[in-house]
């Protein structure tokens, strides 16, 4: 495997830093190649602005200007380098703490800047009969992606009836909207709960479980998200056809096959 | 009213810039006070790191160190100023484009940095019988909050069966997890779809609708999220008690009263 780990934590000696280090060591020891984008260490610029693009319209238009810069090879070197890493990798891992039910800003800014128009979206034909190569198709099709997320709070709070909402739903905008959108298959996430009170013994268990997940990536079935262009969705509304879902399923879960 | 508008777009002459300007003018013309945090114009620092806190442990611990800095008044001036604005306001508006199904990184970084431990979370008693003042209670209780979001894609893609997921679910981590968590009541969002092909006439309609929403903020019913500490949730699991929801409702929608 060729794995890109995108890591987002300001403290190297944190749990997130440890999980990143375990991933690097475990994968390399098993003979795999690994590249790491350690966003804090790289001092990654998190904000999309006109400086990202070689030349922009007089009035910045993020979609068009990012697409033009991608097409003409005039994206800044830092963005181009991350796109190259994504094209090199067959496996992508995001390692981060859940802050306010989503990614830390520095990681969101990696997505905002690297996932440009014509690279990650606006790919393929857009018409009344087809709305792009996305959700299972696109530039990153055939690759695998996986989240490794640490959570301070308690696991029951993130279950089906838990007050914060189900973890699968909280991660859906990332797993479906960021990973699956440009074509990557998404493996079930590795989630570590209760990090506010993790004991040394808990950490040993977590490290062991994480190593096992890493070493079984190639044998792990992805989440069965529905491809956009295989007939499950009405055109041009892109609403799921009636009756395809298991009885009673609603919301984000509609977009996972039974 | 005293309204704080937190605005996140790099181009002043964008649709988002126009909607922000409309909000300022409409509210001030109606006699209300307005403060604006224009994050790109302020060159807001989006990343949480050790520089945010007067002194940190040898090894940075984001939760504890942010709480200690808040308690001792040693947060950086930019963070303290935003907390002051939140305490001053009775109404908070986030104006932003939906990028990758969430906020632009600069706005996520405003939340990550301003919503410190002991200010926005870790407030109140935490024990086996109570898990803090949150979800309807907390530092910002009694205030109102509202999103104004622009979306390039088409509205049907964001409906109940739409391929991107229902807009209410996509915004839940922000509306419930960021606004309601520290106590704010959340008004229904103002969402502008199809911004990739917005005509001058569409813009006129949007501007009119936005003005009406702004002028009726005080008469608008908030989303009926369930308070954490009124008996709807089992302790200590904080799972919603069985049978409280309308038949068949699942997922994030469980946490909205019928």
Q: What is the pLDDT of residues A215-252, one digit of tens each?
A: 999 999 999 999 999 999 999 999 999 999 998 899 99
Rounded CA gap, B121 and B123, in Å? 5
Which residue from A105, A177, A252 is facing B109, i.e. has the nearest CB? A105
CA distance A105 to chain B (A): 5
Output the CA torsion A55→A60→A62→A68 (10° steps). Answer: -30
b/e per residue B101-114 (b: at least 16 CB within 10 A)? bbbbbbbbbbbbbb
Is B177 within 8 Å of chain A by CB? yes
Q: Helix crossing, B15-29 with B200-215: angle to 10°?
A: 40
Question: Which residues of chain A does B46 touch, with a Cβ-Cβ cutoff of 8 Å?
Answer: 46-47, 105-106, 109
| Res. B38: pLDDT tops 80 | yes
If residue B205 lies in a helix (H) or strand (E), which one and from where to where? Answer: helix B200-215
Burial class of residue A160, CB neighbours in 10 A (0-12, 13-18, 19+): middle
| Res. B57: pLDDT tops 80 | no
| Res. B222: pLDDT tops 90 | yes
Query: Which residue would you say has higher pLDDT here, B55 or B98?
Result: B98
Positive or negative, the CA dihedral A82, A83, A89, A95 is positive
**ipTM of predicted complex:** 0.97
Is B62 within 8 Å of chain A by CB? yes
| Res. B90: pLDDT tops 90 | yes
| Confidence category of residue B196, pLDDT binned at 50, 70, 90 | confident
Rounded CA gap, A241 and B212, in Å? 35
Residue B248: per-residue pLDDT: 86
Residue A21: per-residue pLDDT: 98
Is A54 within 8 Å of chain B by CB? no
Instruction: Write out pLDDT tens, residues A41-64.
Output: 999 999 999 999 977 778 999 999
Alpha helices in B73-133 (DSSP H): 77-88, 105-114
Residue A233: per-residue pLDDT: 98
Length of chain B: 258
- CA distance to A173, B18, B28, B29, B189, per residue, from B33 (Å): 35, 19, 6, 9, 21
- Identify whether the C-beta of residue B108 lies closer than 8 Å to the C-beta of residue B102: yes
| Res. B236: pLDDT tops 90 | yes
Contacts of A40 (CB under 8 A, 6+ apart): A7, A8, A9, A10, A106, B47, B49
CB contact under 8 A, A47 and B49: no
Residue B55: per-residue pLDDT: 72
CA distance B132 to chain A (A): 12
Question: Which residues of chain A does B154 touch, with a Cβ-Cβ cutoff of 8 Å?
Answer: 236-238
Residue of B122, B230, B251 to mutate, interface with A, max A Cβ within 10 Å: B251
* Token pair recorded at residue A5: 């780990």
| Res. B132: pLDDT tops 80 | yes
- Identify whether the C-beta of residue A255 lies closer than 8 Å to the C-beta of residue A225: yes
pTM of the model: 0.98
Would you call A33 helix, strand, or coil by DSSP? strand
Q: Average pLDDT, whole number, for chain A? A: 96
Residue A196: per-residue pLDDT: 85
Which among B128, B176, B207, B82 has a CA at the least distance from the CA of A169?
Answer: B176
| Res. A1: pLDDT tops 90 | yes
Lowest mean pLDDT among A194-198, A219-223, B178-182, B206-210: A194-198
Instruction: Write out pLDDT tens, residues A122-165.
Output: 999 998 889 999 999 999 999 999 999 999 999 999 999 999 99
| Confidence category of residue B197, pLDDT binned at 50, 70, 90 | confident
CB contact under 8 A, B159 and A239: yes
Question: Which residues of chain B does A161 touch, with a Cβ-Cβ cutoff of 8 Å?
Answer: 239-240, 242, 254
A-B CB pairs within 8 A amount to 209
Instruction: Write out pLDDT tens, residues B59-78.
Output: 999 999 999 999 999 999 99
Which residue from A156, A176, A196 is facing B238, i.e. has the nearest CB? A156
CA distance A31 to chain B (A): 32
Instruction: Write out pLDDT tens, residues B134-166.
Output: 999 999 999 999 999 999 999 999 999 999 999
Residue A104: per-residue pLDDT: 98
Q: Within chain A, what is the greatest distance between any pair of CA atoms? A: 58
Question: Which residues of chain B does A256 touch, with a Cβ-Cβ cutoff of 8 Å?
Answer: none
Q: Average pLDDT, whole number, for chain B? A: 96
CA distance A178 to chain B (A): 6
Alpha helices in chain A (DSSP H): 15-29, 62-71, 77-88, 105-114, 167-174, 200-215
Instruction: Write out pLDDT tens, residues A17-50.
Output: 999 999 999 999 999 999 999 999 999 999 999 9
CB contact under 8 A, A156 and B237: yes
CB contact under 8 A, B162 and A239: yes
| Res. B224: pLDDT tops 80 | yes
| Res. B56: pLDDT tops 80 | no
Residue B183: per-residue pLDDT: 98
Fill in the DSSP letter of residue B167.
H
* Token pair recorded at residue A258: 């039974």
Rounded CA gap, B199 and A230, in Å? 32
Fill in the DSSP letter of residue A74.
-
- Taking residues B14-35, report their average pLDDT: 98
Question: Which residues of chain B does A47 touch, with a Cβ-Cβ cutoff of 8 Å?
Answer: 10, 40, 46, 104-106
Instruction: Write out pLDDT tens, residues A82-115.
Output: 999 999 999 999 999 999 999 999 999 999 999 9
Residue of B8, B47, B138, B246 to mutate, interface with A, max A Cβ within 10 Å: B47
What percent of chain B is modeled with pLDDT above 90? 95
Rounded CA gap, A108 and B99, in Å? 9
Q: Which residue of B has its CA nearest to A60?
A: B11
């Amino acid at each position: 495997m060729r794995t890109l780990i995108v890591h987002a934590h300001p403290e190297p000696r944190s749990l997130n830093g440890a999980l990143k280090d375990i991933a690097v060591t475990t994968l390399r020891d098993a003979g795999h190649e690994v590249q790491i984008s350690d966003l804090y260490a790289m001092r990654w610029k998190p904000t999309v602005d006109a400086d990202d693009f070689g030349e922009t319209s007089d009035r910045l238009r993020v979609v068009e200007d990012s697409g033009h810069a991608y097409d003409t090879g005039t994206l800044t070197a830092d963005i181009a380098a991350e796109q190259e890493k994504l094209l090199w990798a067959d496996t992508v891992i995001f390692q981060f703490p859940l802050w306010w039910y989503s990614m830390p800003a520095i990681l969101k800014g990696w997505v905002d800047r690297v996932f440009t128009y014509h690279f990650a979206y606006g790919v393929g034909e857009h018409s009344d009969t087809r709305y792009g190569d996305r959700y299972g198709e696109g530039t990153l099709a055939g690759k695998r992606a996986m989240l490794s997320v640490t959570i301070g709070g308690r696991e029951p709070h993130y279950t089906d009836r838990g007050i914060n909402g189900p973890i699968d739903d909280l991660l859906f905008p990332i797993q479906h909207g960021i990973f699956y959108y440009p074509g990557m298959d998404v493996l079930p996430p590795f989630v570590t709960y209760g990090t506010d009170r993790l004991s040394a013994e808990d950490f040993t268990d977590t490290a062991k479980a994480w190593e096992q997940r890493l070493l079984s990536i190639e044998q792990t079935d992805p989440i069965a998200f529905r491809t956009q262009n295989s007939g499950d969705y009405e055109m041009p509304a892109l609403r799921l056809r009636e009756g395809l879902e298991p009885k009673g399923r609603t919301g984000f879960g509609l977009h996972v096959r039974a």
